[in-house]
Structure 1
Amino acid sequence: MTKLSVNINKIATLRNSRGGNVPDLLKSAIDIQDFGAEGITIHPRPDERHIRYQDARDLKAVVHTEFNIEGNPIKKFIDLVLEVKPTQVTLVPDAVDAITSNAGWDTVKNRDFLKEVISEFKRNGIRTSIFVDPVIGMIEGAALTGTDRIELYTEEFAKEYANGNPGGITPYADAARKATEFGLGINAGHDLSLDNIKFFKENIPELLEVSIGHALIAESLYLGLENVINMYLNKLS
């Protein structure tokens, strides 16, 4: 079964919009795990507009499933990850002012940099994953960095699927097969939702983990958080 890791950035955004501690991020993480999710994902950014760096430290004490920290490996981020030592770090090439992640790594151009960063995380017992587009050359480049996994950037698939084009899955299936040939684990995330997750999972049988935040939290406003988490788990089973 593919694991569901819930990205709680949007919960932090709501909290920060009013100050104080409502909703309580730590309690939300505990509840999400109690509802059945197999992981918690956060993506702190330098301006801390949603997840704060201190949140990562505080969450370490309450996340008893997989703890995944995503982000651009600037020094401040690297230092945080080495301090917290999550289960997994996912490297994302975000610009400082990015609203959300919008591209995977050029693993060929950035191979030496990624290799250096990944080796440091792995020396500290932290599983590594690289955010990549479904391009065979980028998968091949990722394999040369020493990463444990890739995370397929799924925005384009989601757009194509919503437009009635299930063929948009093809490059993802091809990329997944190539990653498997190289012994890389496969994660996925970005714009996956209750509408498309089952189809994606059925066509990427090697899929180990999905990280879902925006859609899951939005769906939960209508359907309830516990209910939505179990709907995802059912579709991933």
Structure 2
Amino acid sequence: MKIRAATFNIRNSSAPDGDNAWPVRRKAAVAAIEQLDADVVGLQEVLPDQLEYLRWRFPKYEIVGAGRDDGMTAGEHAAVLVRPGDWRVDRQETRWLSDDPGTPGSIGWDADLTRVATLVWLRHRNGTTIGVVNTHYDHAGEVAQLQSSRLIARWVSGSIPWIVMGDLNATPDSPPVKTLVDSGLRIAVPIEAGGSWHDFTGAVDDDRIDHILVTSTWTVTDAAVSHYRPDGRVPSDHWPVVATLDLG
């Protein structure tokens, strides 16, 4: 059983990005997602207008995830897109990266903003269930980043295979990522694959802060950072990260 998983921070549509504003690059963002050829895609910074556009452009996909502000539609979503095929959404929930994960809008520790994780249980057509976590860590709170990793490590400690992905705002050698690795997860995409953050410069050698980590049950058959520029346009201020995984 194989699954191709990708994570992509699409940059929120409210940012004052000028020539790189969402209306200018949204077609490129969709093209970049399509080029990944992934079964499941975790997106970050998705505001309601972006979610509406994605639902229009991917009408056959299952798209899940709640708004971080109210647990319904308000604020950024850590949306998960599931392509029609072998895997279907069995159940899903949004949890907050805080001491009170079930309370919508809660802010954790020293975080600057409300942060969430979308947990999705996918069922293969043969009945096998796996778990996927898509998240976006706080950009400023170092305690919040570390505690978020501890939370997620507990959430994925069960018996099913898990995939953890998202914008962790942390490099591979940082305490938040090391905490996930120490819990038994491993980084799927080699460090030498290049950077993921580029701030609309198109650089491929900047920091890797977008990650896919997997439990030991998975074999990684290929993995990369996608530096695809549809029609020469960068699709976001991050590059997508993608990995093909096999349960054997």
TM-score (ref. length: structure 1) = 0.43
TM-score (ref. length: structure 2) = 0.42
More helix by share: 1
